[in-house]
Amino acid sequence: MLLGIALSNAVIIPVAIFLAIGAMTWLILSQFVDRDDRAEQRLQELSDPRRRSREQERDNKKSEAITRVLEKASPTLAKPLTPTNERDMGKLRQGLVEAGFRSESAPMTYLSIRALTAIAFLFAGGGVSLFFYGFTTAAAIRAFVIAGVGFYLPTLILSQLIRRRKQQIFQGLPDALDLLVVCVEAGLGLDQAMRRVAVEMKKSYRIVADEFGLCNLQLQMGRARNQVLTDLGARTGVDDLRSLASILIQADKFGSSIANALRVQSEAMRTRRQQIAEEKAAKTAVKLIFPLVLFIFPGIFVVLVGPAGIQMVREMFPAMGG
């Protein structure tokens, strides 16, 4: 019995470590590696102009099929997880909107995905635990722990999507403001300038272009400009967009120059980006201490002190040296 438990531990621990390392590697690569090579994609579009439309149509059909299945199953799956008060539901909707999911069914779909992942991880973890440990309390505990990991995994992915989207908006906003300044100084109104920015930045910064395009759509539907700008800062969760909306609202209210306000905001954002880069560069020396102490200094110490130590041993103990 003890031998079986030892063998099972010897098997399951390396498997668990391998899966954890693989999951962490996948998350890191998904954050830092851009799998869509822009040059290769452009060459494919030039060689076959209809290829992209066919791929988009095929992807849209797959996503629509998955969405229909989730929408049918989401009320039943999401009912136990649905927030009971409006405050928690508002936080959930705000997080999904900041991640780019604006549909009315997004909260129910997200909650159903959490339930599905929890159930899937429960069955997977329960099967593995029963295979190695049998019907024991330890197997049940491991199964429920794995189910908890699956339950909170969509929350982790959602937070990563929110962070990545905010970072992309922060990187593309100074260029959008510069283009707004050019358009306003050329004689266009703020609405026409925002429409032009949405068209011109669709390939470089698609998320910023989509946000400005949504503002243009709301303006065409008859909403007040102040409310549209306020919603722009609120739904993205980016502080720079909130301050930009406040500046534009004040400039429109008091009749000041919108171009000067945009130029000042753009310079402030670029200064902030420069300060963030300098801060990261200053932290690099501190972050390098740990790999230097753990990996590089021991090797240097052996190379430099090793020959001297061997010579000292030979001098102090001639018999050993001989």
Structure confidence by residue, pLDDT tens digits, 230-248 = 888 888 888 888 888 888 8
- Say if residue 201 is exposed, middle or buried (CB neighbours under 10 Å; 0-12, 13-18, 19+): buried
Residue ranges in the chain whose pLDDT is less than 70? 1-81, 131-134, 319-322
Spatial distance between the Cα atoms of 86 and 88, rounded to a whole number of angstroms: 6
pLDDT (0 to 100) of residue 23? 64
pLDDT (0 to 100) of residue 26? 64
pLDDT (0 to 100) of residue 2? 40
Describe the crossing of helices 137-185 and 239-254 by its angle, rounded to 10 degrees.
30
Which CATH code for domain 168-285? 1.20.81
3 state SS of 317: coil
pLDDT (0 to 100) of residue 66? 61
Full-model pTM = 0.64
Spatial distance between the Cα atoms of 259 and 172, rounded to a whole number of angstroms: 18
* pLDDT tens column, 112-168: 888 888 888 887 777 777 766 667 777 777 778 888 888 888 888 888 888 888 888
pLDDT (0 to 100) of residue 47? 67
Say how many C-beta atoms besides its own lie within 10 A of residue 234's C-beta: 15
The number of residues making up the chain comes to 322
pLDDT (0 to 100) of residue 64? 62
Domain ranges in the chain are 1-31, 168-285
Q: Which two tokens stand for residue 201?
A: 């930045």
**Residue 227 CB-half CA count within 13 A:** 7
Q: Which two tokens stand for residue 195?
A: 């429409």
